[in-house]
Amino acid sequence: MSHQLKGQGEEGGGGTRGRARSGSLGTGDRSRRSPSMKRPHRAEKAPVPRRAQPGQKERAGSPGSGSPRRKQAERRGRRELLGDRERGSAEKTCRGRRKDGRASLREQRAPSKKEKEVRRKEEMWKQLKKHRSSSMASSTSSGESLSEEELARILEQVEDKKKLIASMRSKPWPMARKLAELREAQEFVEKYEGALGKGKGKRLYAYRMLMAKKWVKFKRDFHNFKTQCIPWEMKIKDIESHFGSSVASYFIFLRWMYGVNLVLFGLIFGLVIIPEVLMGMPYGSIPRKTVPRAEEEKAMDFSVLWDFEGYMKYSALFYGYYNNQRTIGWLRYRLPMAYFMVGVSVFGYSLMIVIRSMASNNQGSTSEGESDNFTFSFKMFTSWDYLIGNSETADNKYASITTSFKESIVDEQESNKEENVHLTRFLRVLANFLIICCLCGSGYLIYFVVKRSQEFSKMQNVSWYERNEVEIVMSLLGMFCPPLFETIAALENYHPRIGLKWQLGRIFALFLGNLYTFLLALMDDIQLKLSNEETIKNITHWTLFHYYNSSGWNESVPRPPLHPADVPRGSCWETAVGIEFMRLTVSDMLVTYITILLGDFLRACFVRFMNYCWCWDLEAGFPSYAEFDISGNVLGLIFNQGMIWMGSFYAPGLVGINVLRLLTSMYFQCWAVMSSNVPHERVFKASRSNNFYMGLLLLVLFLSLLPVAYTIMSLPPSFDCGPFSGKNRMYDVIQETVENDFPTFLGKIFAFLANPGLIIPAILLMFLAIYYLNSVSKSLSRANAQLRKKIQALHEVEKSHKSVKGRATARDSEDTDKNNSKNDTQLTKEGTAHHSASQSLTLDQKAQGPGASSSAGKTVLPASQHLPVSRAPGVRPDSGQARPQAHPWRSTSGKRAWRPPH
């Protein structure tokens, strides 16, 4: 593990370091340029003549010493070009060349210490001829006498090395070679990066390089730290290796959900609950913050608290507790305004994060265009999940691969026949009919139960069951309907991945129907309470009026205010809604846990231990172990989140409870899966279903936004509870803030903006923008497809070209080595000829003098043109030809470097 990590880290670090350096080099280059622009005068006048003397002497000897090695290299290069087909041998020569290169490096480094001055000139020679020689390492340790050309050359070599470092990761080399090359390149870069800066700039440059290095290291450490900070990564990987990626996708989704809820929790707690607790009026000061006299006795009983009545109801967890003071505390914190804005931003943040993660999921799958024409290849080469590390899962995987191969064969063979199509269609229609019946039945059942519960709520002393009937029925439906659907879905005979989507869709419809029936019934309840509100308001007024004006009290002493517990109060429908959602969430959580405990754990225990004394094989036979129910769990999570979104406006504490729920269910479900579930019989991958989850989540978010927006916009708030009491509508709080706290012209602007005459054109504009962007994206995708086609055509042309060439080369090489007259081999030959010719030419012209300098520069060119061909074994000949044009610098530098001194 640590080995792997280190190797990765080194590689990754090398890569990023190289990149970062080359990035910082740009600045370093610029800073360095100012001195180097001035230098040419000095360089040309003073040091060059001094060096010229020994250089000239050496020149006679250097070609002799240089040429055998070069010829050797050429021969090798040609061999590689010819034997392009035998990669295995090429690998060997590759390794051989590396050794060779290192050997030459060492050999050159040793003498250079003894006779630096002389050797330096000679080596400069070689460098120009060799494409990128590593012998530079020894040539220029004494810095001042570097000319501009040398600097430029070093710079280019440094660039090359950096590129090498950056692309090291994607080279298919063995690790030893990678390490060696990396070290060499890093040493080189480290050595010369500092040497490039001169004088004053040098220290600054070195400092900057140091800082860049530190920064890269810090970034890498930070990245490692971030990876380590991802919670439950190990748990999820563990599950992934046992159950495949589909089960793990549920846990990843759960983790993501936990993160979102943490943010919402921070928002609500930080901006609403904590200010209220710290700065708001304390408990018992006003009627809405006090338990009424009638409930006081039982207010602390556990059974009452468990139903979120009593003290729970009159706490900061619910809407009713908040006061309608405009500002609270010494900070003059505008709590009603904050409450409203937090409620809005909870939805805003959730929408944003869901859409963003959907978009980022989409970005990963750009290449998913025409992948359907590779069915068999994909099955063969990518169906094995290398992550599987469990023999049971592996067995299942083998079986599933076999069946999938068989299925595709059958599909392929019978794609035209389709004999059973009528039966399949009939079965599918039947299944859908049955499922629709189930959905309608469950919807009616919930409606019936909710109506009944409204009657119960009017009666006195109802039993526990009657009070919680709605929650129990809903949970039971949620527990029993999905397995029923699954049984029915077996009729349809879909592929499990498609089946999973159908199943998800159906359960989604079930939950949605249930939720909306529940909401409609709740809405009825709210209307009832609202109609009663007027009378209660009058009663309250009258009570207070009588209390203060009643006779029998000493008129001179002012009466103490009525105790808040005695004040009659309204029903506060907002808190009632909040309590309903709170109860639903808690009961849902409990039902989930109990289902897991009974359905999975106890079943697993029973099967495991009763198997010793049972008449049939329990593990293979009827009860068996449970599979992890992905669709049910995902949908449970999504709907739970929908309830949180709906309820969080009326019960700010709901998100806190949800965070706890997600935290516990992460650990509990991880444990349950690992301890008592078995992998799916047909292991399948979770390909792209993640976005499917997100789509469902977005739908639920939208659907849960609707009722909340409706209640905020069109129902009057209760008169005696909550932060908006006394106002006509809840959103009036914005208007109030704008009028009182902002300057008047802002208020006018807001009034102007709210004008329908402005809003309707804005909406129109948005529609137009959507239309426009949509058409743009369509045309872009069309262009994309065309480009892809073009690339494919190019590929084909290239391939046919290459195969023709390859055949020609093969024929040629079969004849003899000398007879090669057409292709690559010819090129190599020519290169060789040119090379040696240019060598002697340059020397001669050097000796001749200034007049021939430009032609000398030209003749140097073929040498450098040739070398890439011989150096890179895998490069195609045409690319080798194209290369020198890509480096025009070399020819010019050659021209300038060898301008004879005057």
Q: How far is the CB of 179 from other proteins (least distance, A)?
A: 8
Please provide the DSSP assignment of 46-71 as one string.
Answer: THHHHHHHHHHHHHHHHHHHHHHHHH
Minimum distance of other proteins from residue 815's CB (angstroms): 23
CB of 87 to other proteins, least distance (A): 5
Q: Which of 103, 76, 74 is nearest to 92 (CA)?
A: 76
Look-up: residue for tokens 């009961």? 587
Least Å from the CB of residue 365 to other proteins: 7
- Smallest gap from residue 604 Cβ to other proteins (A): 21
The tokens for 621 are 């036979």
* Cα distance from N-terminal residue to C-terminal residue, the chain: 64
| Interaction between residue 899 and other proteins (CB under 8 A) | no
Return d(Cα 833, Cα 837) in angstroms, integer.
6
Residue type, 431: A
- Spell out the residues 6+ positions from residue 336 whose beta carbon is closer than 8 angstroms to its own: 322, 324, 325, 326, 723, 724, 733
Q: Which is nearer to other proteins, 263 or 387 (CB)?
A: 387
Which residues have C-beta within 8 Å of that of residue 823, sequence separation ≥ 6?
805, 808, 809, 812, 877
Q: Which of 371, 779, 840, 855 binds other proteins (CB under 8 A)?
A: 371
Which of residues 53, 285, 382, 848 is near other proteins by CB under 8 A? 382
Minimum distance, C-beta of residue 199 to other proteins, in the bound complex (Å): 41
> 70 vs 397, which CB is nearer to other proteins?
397
Q: What is the DSSP string of 726-778?
A: TSSSTTHHHHHHHHHHS-HHHHHHHHHHT-HHHHHHHHHHHHHHHHHHHHHHH
Nearer to other proteins, 42 or 97 (CB): 97
Query: Please, which of residues 441-500 interact with other proteins by CB under 8 A?
Result: none
Hey, CA dihedral for 417, 423, 424, 429, is it positive or negative? positive
Give one DSSP letter per residue of 180-229, joined into a string.
Answer: HHHHHHHHHHHHHHHHHS-HHHHHHHHHHHHHHHHHHHHHHHHHHHHHHH
State yes or no: residue 782 binds other proteins (CB under 8 A).
no
Structure tokens given for 354: 């869901």
Residue 463, helix vs strand vs coil: coil
The answer to the question of residue 368 lying near other proteins (CB under 8 A) is yes
Distance CA 725, CA 902 (A): 97
b/e per residue 861-893 (b: at least 16 CB within 10 A)? bbbbbbbbbbbbbebbbeebbebbeeeeebbeb
Q: How far is the CB of 233 from other proteins (least distance, A)?
A: 6
- The one-character DSSP state at 261 is H
390 binding other proteins? (CB under 8 A):
yes
Binding mask 589-628 for other proteins (x = CB under 8 A): ----------------------------------------
Q: Is 811 in the site for other proteins (CB under 8 A)?
A: no
Among 24, 245, 290, 893, binds other proteins (CB under 8 A): 245
CB of residue 371 to other proteins, shortest distance in Å = 6
Residue 803 near other proteins by CB under 8 A: yes
Size of the site for other proteins (CB under 8 A): 66
Told to check if 2 binds other proteins by CB under 8 A, we report: yes
* Residues whose CB falls within 8 Å of the CB of residue 416, separated by 6 or more in sequence, listed in order: none
Nearer to other proteins, 503 or 689 (CB): 689
Q: Which of 373, 463, 551, 714 binds other proteins (CB under 8 A)?
A: 373
Q: In the set 34, 363, 377, 550, which binds other proteins (CB under 8 A)?
A: 377
785 binds other proteins (CB under 8 A): no
> Minimum distance from CB of 391 to other proteins (Å)?
5
Query: Letter for the amino acid at 172?
Result: P
Subset of 671-690 contacting other proteins (CB under 8 A): 685, 687-688
For residue 399, the minimal CB distance to other proteins (Å) is 9
Q: Which of 115, 411, 524, 796 binds other proteins (CB under 8 A)?
A: 796
Choosing from 795, 801, 811, 858, the residue that interacts with other proteins (CB under 8 A) is 795
Kind plus residue range of the DSSP H or E element containing 626? strand 626-627
Identify whether the C-beta of residue 643 lies closer than 8 Å to the C-beta of residue 580.
no
Between 446 and 683, name the residue whose CB sits nearer to other proteins: 683
Distance CA 255, CA 693 (A): 13
Residue (387 or 586) nearer to other proteins, CB? 387
The total number of residues written for the chain in this structure: 902
Q: Does 5 bind other proteins (CB under 8 A)?
A: yes
Choice between 284 and 389, CB closer to other proteins: 389
Minimal distance, residue 390 CB to other proteins, in Å: 7
Is residue 187 close enough to count as binding other proteins by CB under 8 A?
Answer: no
DSSP 848-892: H-GGGHHHHHHHHHHHHHHHHHHH-SSS-HHHHHHHHHH-HHHHH
Selected from 61, 96, 111, 174, the binder of other proteins by CB under 8 A is 174
* Count of beta carbons in the 10 Å neighbourhood of residue 240: 21
CA–CA separation, 331 vs 461, rounded Å? 46
DSSP state of 566: G
Q: Any contact of residue 237 with other proteins (CB under 8 A)? A: yes
Site string for other proteins, 262-301 (x = CB under 8 A): ----------------------------------------
The answer to whether 283 touches 277, Cβ cutoff 8 Å, is no
Other residues' Cβ atoms within 10 Å of the Cβ of residue 463? 9
Which residues, numbered 410-449, are part of the site for other proteins (CB under 8 A)? 412
Does residue 365 touch other proteins according to CB under 8 A?
Answer: yes
Q: Does 366 bind other proteins (CB under 8 A)?
A: no
How far is Cα 47 from Cα 147, in angstroms, rounded to an integer? 9
Q: Tell whether residue 72 is a contact of other proteins (CB under 8 A).
A: no
Residue span binding other proteins (CB under 8 A) among the ranges 143-151, 229-237, 282-290, 419-427: 229-237
Among 215, 306, 376, 606, the residue binding other proteins under the rule CB under 8 A is 376
Q: Which of 158, 209, 316, 388 binds other proteins (CB under 8 A)?
A: 388
Decide if residue 233 touches other proteins (CB under 8 A). Answer: yes
- Judged by beta carbon, residue 174 or residue 561, the one nearer other proteins is 174
Give me Rg for the CA atoms of the chain: 40
Contact with other proteins (CB under 8 A): which of 64, 68, 88, 743? 88
Q: Does residue number 85 form part of the binding site for other proteins (CB under 8 A)?
A: yes
Rounded Cα gap, residues 542 and 536, in angstroms: 10
One residue of 215, 222, 306, 374 binding other proteins per CB under 8 A? 374
Angle 700-705-706 (CA atoms, 0-180°, nearest 5)?
105
Closer residue to other proteins (CB): 13 or 707: 13
Neighbouring residues of 216: CB distance < 8 A, sequence distance ≥ 6? 13, 16, 17, 20, 21
Q: Which span sits near other proteins by CB under 8 A: 155-163, 487-495, 730-738, 799-807?
A: 799-807
Binding letters toward other proteins, positions 529-548, x by CB under 8 A: --------------------
Residues that bind other proteins (CB under 8 A): 1-5, 7-8, 11-12, 85, 87-88, 169-172, 174-176, 179, 227-228, 233-234, 237, 241, 245, 365, 367-368, 371, 373-378, 380-391, 393-394, 398, 401-402, 405-406, 409, 412, 685, 687-688, 795-796, 799-800, 803
